[in-house]
């Protein structure tokens, strides 16, 4: 950079200092004289709009003590919008979203953070984008929408991890994402996974010396230890967290920690200490105004009174906790209050009321868990199964490299050795092991590819969209019917993916479910029929898992999707040969020739990798049997010679090599 450039920058900074200093002195004198913060805040906004810094640290340093004031932040949003200062507008909207979240107005919070994200993306501001995504995740997590929360935190984390030299603020964003993902695992009672995420976040916060982040992570680590029954260790973590909150003078933090300490005191049977602390904590929670913590404080005060047999006060406070939880949709809090009320009524001898409270707690938890399972657990299982298989493949490849390395090291000694027979034996063993590893790796790869094929994200997305339309159109029975079908199909696919072979009857059931779901998008126009000959016992015949789906998918999308009406797919199972089972899949579609022509004209082409993958799987499957598989494709024509569909004939061996007889 040239001397003139440095001089120009210095002059600009001097001019800005000359402008700001008199204004600051004027603001101070006016503030003292008028006892009002309105005039200096207006000028602070004017200075920020003049500077228009894109850096979030700079904006935060200017507005840090005002960001919990909704009126001032709304004013900043308006003036930033008028001045086309998108970064300032995004910052203020995130601040407003946090204010809304802290008073349990979650829909408003999410709306504000979403607007902030859109503005951050317009300016390509990575720091503000990460902040907006994380704040949306926190709001969804507080509402127990686990899948949505995870999506936003993962997106924020993925963006942050693309930065080669992240700023301190991006590092904070990574810590927030990891902490929140830990809270998601905590909600799912995956305590060890939660602890891993909290410790990762804690390490970053220690490096940054971020006291708020340290307080939050020690608090969450305390939760994990409390749930695992390590009460003394949990108490130490809560007290450490409280010391950090006291350093930064956070009243919300004090409420959070004190509520946790109250629970520990009750579990340690320090009932008087628990009652005293819960009373002061409730007063602090009411000052803060966060309904989530107000509900928790009422509940803890009720619980503490219950332990000391102050039943009237216990009932009053538990009912207040329930009122707040229901009003603001705090499902997790509502479950805990129902459980405490059940204990309360049991102690009073009102077993009918106690049973009702237990039932309500169970029903709410079931509804939350159903949503978590549908929106999260399946994805989690698939993710970790895929990672596990990838790790297995890596391990096999590594073992293969070790074998090669050992052989190379021994080559020199073997050249001068007199043990030729041993050399041949070693080479043969290594070759055989290498071949076996290659085969195992191929099988694992095929299984992975097969699972990815069945769990095609477009199929899942489109299926859920179709079910969503039933919900939007208020077709509740259809929505529930197809949602049950979809859940059953996903479960069957997950179960089948862990098995190399399954009964033919299970395979046919899975295909029928698959067609039920796919048929939604065709307005149920496709007639799908399965016919099994009387001489076939579908329960005793084993076939490779999920082997028919690629053929049915081909018939559906290449044969029938372009046809106007009278759409049919027929699956027929028969035993015409002693050592084979014959499965034919017939459609009355447009035929292969017309399908290829139509596909060439499409902008988005469906590539059929599934058939080749299926052939490889059948080839591996056939190696254990006396005969090999065969696949034959016939083009069907009517009397006039026009294409009238396609027929796949699949001969699968059913007699093992060791079972030649029979």
334-338, 369-373, 598-602, 613-617, range with greatest mean pLDDT: 334-338
- The structural domains of the chain, with segments of one domain joined by +, span 1-36, 369-449, 501-653
* Residue 245 dihedral angles phi and psi, to the nearest 5°: -60, -35
Residue 522 is given by DSSP the state G
CB 381 within 8 Å of CB 387? no
Name the least confident of 112-126, 145-159, 330-344, 592-606.
592-606
Decide: helix, strand or coil at residue 653.
strand
Query: What are 377-403's pLDDT values in tens digits?
Result: 444 434 434 444 455 555 556 666 666
Residue 647's pLDDT is 92
> Which structure tokens are listed for 423?
């050399």
Residue matched to tokens 């049997």:
625
d(CA 545, CA 44): 67
99 pLDDT above the threshold of 90: no
Query: What are 229-261's pLDDT values in tens digits?
Result: 888 998 999 999 999 999 988 888 898 899 899
Q: In sequence order, what DSSP letters do the residues of 497-521 get, joined into one string?
A: HT-SEEEHHHHHHHHHHHHHHHGGG
Segment (H or E) for 567: strand 567-574
Residue 240's pLDDT is 92
* Residue 150 dihedral angles phi and psi, to the nearest 5°: -60, -40
Query: What are 312-329's pLDDT values in tens digits?
Result: 888 888 889 888 888 887
Residue 10's pLDDT is 44
CB 300 within 8 Å of CB 262? yes
Query: What are 402-449's pLDDT values in tens digits?
Result: 666 666 666 666 666 666 676 666 766 666 666 666 655 555 554 555
Please name the residue ranges forming H helices in 549-609.
549-554, 592-601
Residue 236's pLDDT is 93
Residue 522's pLDDT is 77
Residues 46-56 as b/e (b if ≥16 CB within 10 A, e otherwise) read ebbbeeeeeeb
* Residue 528 dihedral angles phi and psi, to the nearest 5°: -115, 125
Greater pLDDT, 471 or 500? 471
Class of domain 501-653: alpha beta
Residue 537 is given by DSSP the state -
Sign of CA dihedral 508, 457, 451, 567: positive
309: left (phi over 0), alpha (psi -120 to 50) or beta: left
Closest CA to 67 of 44, 47, 33: 44
| Residues facing residue 634 across a β-bridge | 647
d(CA 125, CA 118): 10
* Residue 651 dihedral angles phi and psi, to the nearest 5°: -100, 115
Greater pLDDT, 127 or 493? 127
pTM strictly above 0.85:
no
CB 171 within 8 Å of CB 207? yes
């Amino acid at each position: 950079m040239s001397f003139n450039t440095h001089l120009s920058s210095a002059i600009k900074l001097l001019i800005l200092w000359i402008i700001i200093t008199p204004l600051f002195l004027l603001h101070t004198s006016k503030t003292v004289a008028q006892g009002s913060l309105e005039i200096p805040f207006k000028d602070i906004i004017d200075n920020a709009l003049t500077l228009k810094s894109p850096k979030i640290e700079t904006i935060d340093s200017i507005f840090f003590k005002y960001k919990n004031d909704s009126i001032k932040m709304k004013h900043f949003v308006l003036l930033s919008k008028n001045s086309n200062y998108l970064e300032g507008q995004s910052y203020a909207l995130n601040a407003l979203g946090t204010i809304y979240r802290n008073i349990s107005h979650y829909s408003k919070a999410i709306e504000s953070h979403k607007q902030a994200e859109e503005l951050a993306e317009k300016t390509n501001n990575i720091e503000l984008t990460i902040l907006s995504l994380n704040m949306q995740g926190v709001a969804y997590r507080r509402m127990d929408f686990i899948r949505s929360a995870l999506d936003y935190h993962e997106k924020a984390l993925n963006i942050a991890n693309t930065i080669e030299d992240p700023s301190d603020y991006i590092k904070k964003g990574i810590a927030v994402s990891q902490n929140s993902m830990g809270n998601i695992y905590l909600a799912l009672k995956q305590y060890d996974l939660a602890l891993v995420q909290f410790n990762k976040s804690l390490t970053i916060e220690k490096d940054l010396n971020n006291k708020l982040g340290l307080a939050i992570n020690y608090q969450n680590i305390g939760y994990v230890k409390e749930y695992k029954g390590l009460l003394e260790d949990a108490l130490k973590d809560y007290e450490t967290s409280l010391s950090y909150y006291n350093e930064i003078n956070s009243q919300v933090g004090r409420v959070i920690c004190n509520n946790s300490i109250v629970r520990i005191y009750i579990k340690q049977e320090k009932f008087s200490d628990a009652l005293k602390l819960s009373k002061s904590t409730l007063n602090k929670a009411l000052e803060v105004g966060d309904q989530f913590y107000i509900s928790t404080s009422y509940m803890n005060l009720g619980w503490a009174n219950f332990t000391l047999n102050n039943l009237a006060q216990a009932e009053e406070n538990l009912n207040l906790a329930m009122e707040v939880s229901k009003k603001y949709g705090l499902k997790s809090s509502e479950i805990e209050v129902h459980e405490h009320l059940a204990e309360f009524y049991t102690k009073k001898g009102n077993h009918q009321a106690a049973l009702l409270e237990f039932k309500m707690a169970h029903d709410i938890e079931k509804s939350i868990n159903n949503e978590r399972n549908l929106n999260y657990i399946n994805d989690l299982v698939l993710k970790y199964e895929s990672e596990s298989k990838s790790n297995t493949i890596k391990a096999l490849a590594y073992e293969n490299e070790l074998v090669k390395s050992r052989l190379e090291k021994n080559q020199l000694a073997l050249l001068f050795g007199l043990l030729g027979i041993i050399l041949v034996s070693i080479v043969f063993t290594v070759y055989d092991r290498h071949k076996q590893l290659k085969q195992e790796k191929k099988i694992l790869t095929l299984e992975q590819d097969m699972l990815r094929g069945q769990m095609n994200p477009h199929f899942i997305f489109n299926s859920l969209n179709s079910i969503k339309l039933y919900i939007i159109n208020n077709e509740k029975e259809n929505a529930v019917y197809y949602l049950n079908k979809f859940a059953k199909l996903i479960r069957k696919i997950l179960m089948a993916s862990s098995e190399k072979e399954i009964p033919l009857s299970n395979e046919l059931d899975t295909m029928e479910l698959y067609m039920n779901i796919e048929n939604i998008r065709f307005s149920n126009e496709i007639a799908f029929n399965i016919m099994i000959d009387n001489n076939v016992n579908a329960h005793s015949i084993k076939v490779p898992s999920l082997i028919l789906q690629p053929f049915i998918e081909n018939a559906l999308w290449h044969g029938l999707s372009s046809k106007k009406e009278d759409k049919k797919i027929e699956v027929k199972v028969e035993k015409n040969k002693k050592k084979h089972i014959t499965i034919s899949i017939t459609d009355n579609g447009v035929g292969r020739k017309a399908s290829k022509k139509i596909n060439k004209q499409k902008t988005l082409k469906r590539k059929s990798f599934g058939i080749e993958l299926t052939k490889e799987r059948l080839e591996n499957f056939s190696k254990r049997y006396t005969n090999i598989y065969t696949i034959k494709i016939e083009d069907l024509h009517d009397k006039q010679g026009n294409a009238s569909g396609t027929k796949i004939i699949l001969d699968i061996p059913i007699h093992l090599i060791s079972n030649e007889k029979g």
